């Protein structure tokens, strides 16, 4: 069993937000395949699987915060998934529809969303966030 922990992503960074899990419990994962996207106030970073195996457990869900060193998932080394790994297909078709909630004051958009908002010249106040506590995600932008 391999533990997946939040890596040190920067000198002044104490915690990250789990933005997206690319694999779910029971799915096969290959070594060096993207497993999860972590976001900080300044950047987003993909964390890859250190081993071939099957995602056994996800301990911190999307939109939740985790401190550096926190155990966020476990991979069963060398295991074979009950169902074959899904081919790389657009995730947009698989994503559940979330009901947007008004963005809460004091919660800035996720870093990747801020970049998209700036590039498109959008007004962040006019965007309803679907992230934790109404935070704007890149999918909202």
What is the residue-wise DSSP string for 22-78? SS-TT-EE-TT-EEEEEE-SS-EEEEE-SSSEEEEEE-S-TT-EEETT-EEEEEEET
Average pLDDT over residues 45-49: 92
Asked if residues 136 and 127 have their Cβ atoms less than 8 Å apart, the reply is yes
CA 135/CA 39 separation, integer angstroms? 13
* pLDDT tens-digit readout, 77-97: 876 766 554 544 444 444 444
User: What confidence tier does 4 reach under pLDDT thresholds 50, 70, 90?
Assistant: very high
Give the pLDDT band (50/70/90) at residue 106.
low
pLDDT given at position 7: 92
pTM of the complete model:
0.58
* Ordered structural domains, the chain, with CATH: 2-81 (2.40.50.100), 100-141 (4.10.320)
């Amino acid at each position: 069993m391999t533990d997946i922990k939040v890596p040190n992503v920067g000198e002044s960074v104490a915690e990250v937000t789990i933005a997206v899990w690319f694999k779910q419990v029971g799915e096969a994962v290959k070594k060096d395949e993207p497993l999860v996207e972590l976001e900080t106030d300044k950047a987003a970073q993909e964390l890859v699987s250190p081993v071939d195996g099957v995602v056994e457990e996800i301990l911190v869900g999307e939109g939740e915060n985790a401190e550096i060193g926190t155990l966020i998932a476990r991979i069963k080394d060398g295991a074979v998934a009950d169902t074959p790994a899904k081919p790389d297909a657009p995730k947009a078709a698989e994503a559940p529809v979330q009901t947007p909630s008004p963005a809460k004051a004091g919660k800035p958009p996720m870093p990747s969303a801020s970049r998209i908002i700036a590039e498109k010249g959008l007004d962040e106040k006019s965007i309803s966030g679907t992230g934790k506590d109404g935070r704007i995600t890149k999918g909202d932008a």
